[in-house]
Amino acid sequence: MAGDSLGKLLKVTNWGESHGPAVGCVVEGCPPGIDLSESDIQPFLDKRRPGQSQLVTQRNESDQVNILSGVVDGKTTGTAISLLINNHNSRSKDYSEFAQLYRPSHADFTYQQKYGIRDVAGGGRSSARTTAANVAAGAIALKVLSAHQIEIISWVDSVGDIDSQLPIEKVTTELVESNPVRCPDAQAAKRMEEKILQIRKAGDTIGGVVRCVVRHMPVGLGEPLFDKLEADLAKAMMSINASKGFEIGSGFAGTRMLGSEHNDLFYRDEQGQIRTRSNHSGGIQGGISNGMDLDFKVAFKPVATLMQKQQTVNLNGESVEYHGRGRHDPCVLPRAVPIVDAMTALVLCDHLLRQRAYQSL
């Protein structure tokens, strides 16, 4: 299947289905000699796994990762790293009746039309279950980035019309992980949690925005044309299930500004480093990182599966009634945070390795 891989020097190939025996990935291009074990990866999977709280799906998966290759005596060898995450709590029978209809806003219709066949159980490859493998791969990328002091922090910035009011410079990982919503603004987090539970009780779903900031960015990551850093970030973020929008820096708000307001003016700081007085560019200019913090947002739609009756059509195009079944997130935002972290890490690690290759010539 085309489109299963991401990256050039650090390449990740994702495989598996929601209700298959397992999901996993192969990571190629990781430098040798890096300390790596399952215990380095597992904490990131624990943040993404289902069943963490009442705010997410109650599918009970431990998401225990197994390293099958590419590591000897606790260190990477430079060869392909294979990661395996077994599925234990799938309930395929919950989806059997959907084989004869197309669920609203799911991939059922498009998969059937494209391939002439589809995996009904859990949506197969279209399921967010496959993101577990990307999070595991992202943990490896984070190991590489941490050696360069690059820090990635993502958080729930809004749920519906409830927005975090905490200034971006005050956001810390500790604040993000201090509540089940993963919003660093405690007051907003409480309101978000109440809203999600209210929506869940009504059998409905709700969307929102994840914001990400990357601190201690080096200058020079990214390419001038098709591999612009923001373009690769956008591709990675838009590959996440339920994502519907990406903006970096001022984003769409920049269209309401004048050039004299939007330009990021350069100056030399007290350490002699060239910086910009504002960051409307979001840390990227000309497709290349400028040393300022990366700052971008990812919009996530409401989950498509509702515990309400809806109208749809069956395989013959006849109108039928549909009612959601199974275990689903009323809001993907809390579990999307570690996925955004991971996808960001994979893109940055790939570009970091590319830049190091240039510098070594």
Share of the chain above pLDDT 70, in %: 94
Residue with the bigger pLDDT between 1 and 13: it is: 13
Amino acid at 46: D
Q: How confident is the model at residue 153 (pLDDT cuts 50, 70, 90)?
A: very high
Kindly report, residue by residue over 277-313, the tens digit of the pLDDT: 999 999 999 999 999 999 999 999 999 988 889 999 9
Amino acid identity of residue 67, one-letter, is: I
Q: Give the chain's radius of gyration (CA, Å).
A: 21
Q: Cβ atoms within 10 A of the Cβ of 318, count? A: 9
Query: Is 1 a residue whose pLDDT tops 70?
Result: no
| Residues 123, 106 contacting (CB under 8 angstroms) | yes
Mean pLDDT of 211-225: 97
The DSSP secondary-structure symbol of 31 reads: P
pLDDT in tens, 183-216: 999 999 999 999 999 999 999 999 999 999 999 9
Q: For the chain, what is the mean pLDDT?
A: 93
Distance CA 40, CA 15 (A): 21
- Which DSSP string corresponds to 268-279? E-TTS-EEES--
Instruction: Tell the CATH topology of 5-360.
Output: Chorismate synthase, AroC fold (3.60.150)
Split at pLDDT 50, 70, 90, the class of 257 is very high
* Residue 56 or 251, more confident: 251
Check whether 354 has a pLDDT greater than 80. yes
Q: What does the pLDDT look like over 27-36, one tens digit per residue?
A: 999 999 999 9
Tokens of 85: 């995450």
**Predicted structure pTM score:** 0.94
**For residue 92, is pLDDT > 60?**
no
Torsion over CA of 196, 197, 198 and 203, rounded to 10 degrees?
90
pLDDT at residue 329, as a whole number? 85
Q: Who wins on pLDDT, 322 or 273? A: 273
Q: Residue 262's pLDDT is what? A: 98
pLDDT band at 38 (very low <50, low <70, confident <90, very high): very high
* Residue 340: strand, helix, or coil: helix
pLDDT at 320 > cutoff 70:
yes
The closest of 159, 157, 167, 168 to 193, measured between CA atoms, is 159
**What six digits make up the tokens of 50?**
């289902």
